[in-house]
């Protein structure tokens, strides 16, 4: 047993912006239970510096949980490919991003899909949350 086993994985606070992806939409028409849909949908795209802070690599799995800790998913992390945008992450519209949407609509009745406050941490070696888990 080493001392490192008692240290918590680093967490990083992000604001998630959801978006529509034409490739994911095309695959969704073929079936939401396919491996291709999972590959294109169960993903979070982050700034390269944020990925480094988490001590993970592109392709690793990460745990994403909303601010109230009542919504959480394990997804694959990718680099966004954009210039520096530390603290901002992107997820395609999907069951994985919807699981993180806050139930409180502030009285408007409209969920806040474009401004999801969340914490991200490493989930190396863990499986991506399955679509059947929703």
In a domain, 48, yes or no: yes
How many domains, in total, are found in the chain? 1
Percent of the chain whose pLDDT exceeds 90: 57
CATH code (residue 91): 2.40.40.20
pLDDT of 39 reads 92
In a domain, 28, yes or no: yes
The pair of structure tokens assigned to 63 is: 């745990």
In a domain, 6, yes or no: no
In a domain, 83, yes or no: yes
Tell me the pLDDT of the chain averaged across its residues. 88
CA 37 remoteness from chain centre: 15
In a domain, 134, yes or no: no
- Averaged over 45-70, what is the pLDDT? 93
- Asked whether residue 1 carries a pLDDT value surpassing 80, the answer given is no
Range of the domain at 72: 11-129
In a domain, 97, yes or no: yes
What does residue 114 show for φ and ψ, rounded to 5 degrees? -100, 0
Kindly indicate the confidence band of residue 6, based on its pLDDT and cuts at 50, 70 and 90.
Answer: low
In a domain, 87, yes or no: yes
In a domain, 1, yes or no: no
- Asked whether residue 8 carries a pLDDT value surpassing 80, the answer given is no
Torsion sign, CA atoms 70, 12, 88, 129: negative
The pair of structure tokens assigned to 100 is: 């993180």
The pair of structure tokens assigned to 28 is: 């969704």
Residues facing 89 on adjacent strands: 16
pTM of the predicted model as reported, rounded to 2 decimal places: 0.86
Residue in 15, 16, 19, 14 with CA at minimum distance from that of residue 93: 19
What residue has token string 């028409």?
Answer: 29
Beta-sheet pairing, 61-66 with 88-92: unpaired
């Amino acid at each position: 047993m080493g001392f490192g086993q008692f240290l918590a994985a680093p967490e990083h606070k992000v604001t998630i912006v959801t978006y529509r992806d034409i490739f994911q939409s095309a695959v969704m028409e073929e079936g939401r239970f396919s491996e291709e849909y999972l590959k294109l949908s169960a993903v979070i795209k982050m700034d390269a510096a944020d990925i480094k802070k988490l001590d993970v690599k592109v392709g690793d799995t990460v745990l994403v949980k909303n601010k109230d800790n009542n919504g959480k998913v394990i997804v694959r992390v990718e680099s966004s490919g954009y210039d520096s945008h530390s603290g901002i992450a992107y997820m395609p519209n999907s069951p994985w991003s919807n699981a993180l949407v806050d139930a409180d609509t502030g009285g408007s009745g409209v969920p806040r899909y474009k401004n999801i406050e969340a914490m991200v941490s490493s989930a190396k070696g863990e499986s991506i949350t399955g679509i059947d888990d929703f």
